[in-house]
Amino acid sequence: MAKKLEVVLPNEAEGLRLDQCLARYFEPLSRRGARVALELGCVFVGKKRVKVASRRVQAGQVVRVHLGEVFERALAGDGPVPAPLDVLFEDEHLVVVNKAPGVPSAPTLEGDVNCLPWLLQQRAPAKSQRHNTIQVVHRLDVPTSGVLVFAKTAPAQRQLSEMFKRHDLMRRYDAFVHGRYPVDSETLSTPLDGKSARSHVQVDARFEAATRLRVTLETGRTHQIRLHTSGRGHFVLGDRRYGKRTPIDPPRLALHAAELSFDHPISKQRQSFVARLPHDLATWAAGLRPCVTTS
């Protein structure tokens, strides 16, 4: 389980190196543990992530360390296992990937190693990394798979961010929900966090105890599909937050970002990207019993 450690540095910490400070004031950390935490990116001075061991600290600064499973593995010598990387498209302005389940879309408090921007950045030679920083435009939850776009330049980042704010693109998801969905298609429009939210739902297939839906987002609120379908009485299978365990549980959250279409931020040409249902969900879905109708 992840834990957050926080210390307000006392007067005697003035001028210490950050790695010395971590080893002295954070009881679980040795000097080696401090170096590992810094390398993983789970150390914050104030609100800023810091990875420089030699940085001098000041009295009164708030230092936070977020330790989790990645840190424990690295401390044991296992190190981060490189996550799979499936690039669907790339040019000098953007990169589109098919995100694997379990991979963070962006750095987390527990570190920035093995998230998608970090993985994409590792492919570039050191000199070019300074000029093409991978910039997060939108995210998928860690257990969700599917299509994601990242910007590589500031103009592309601005244009893509505006598209997401205006909802000026097309996002379609495959979702397996519990039970038999009662209608073939409908629009769910329950507001979320006080903001308008619209999900266009269409049944793709019905099974004895589940339904495969195609959900097109008109808006993009946090956990929109999970909240809308659970509010309808049909939670996404594998969802431990808004649903519950069932006898037909999938290996992880049964949600996949299947398609993303938008106008290229620079060329303005329409771009469309499709990612097939990944092996883990496809194999699980093949074992679902089809719905048998009686006349």
Catalytic residues: 141
| 79 DSSP 8-state letter | -
Alpha helices (H) along 2-125: 18-25, 31-40, 69-75, 116-122
Residue 158: its H or E element: helix 154-166
Residue 242 sits at φ, ψ, to 5 deg, of: -110, 0
Q: Specify which residues 44 forms β-bridges with.
A: 49, 64
What is the spatial distance between Cα 205 and Cα 239, in angstroms, rounded to a whole number? 20
Q: Specify which residues 38 forms β-bridges with.
A: none
Bridge-based pairing state of the strands 210-217 and 199-206: antiparallel
What is the spatial distance between Cα 251 and Cα 253, in angstroms, rounded to a whole number? 7
The three-class DSSP label of residue 84 is coil
Which residues, 6+ apart, have CB-to-CB distance to 80 below 8 Å? 40, 70, 73, 74, 113, 114
Given a contact cutoff of 8 angstroms between Cβ atoms, the answer to whether 144 and 175 are in contact is: no
What is the spatial distance between Cα 46 and Cα 63, in angstroms, rounded to a whole number? 6
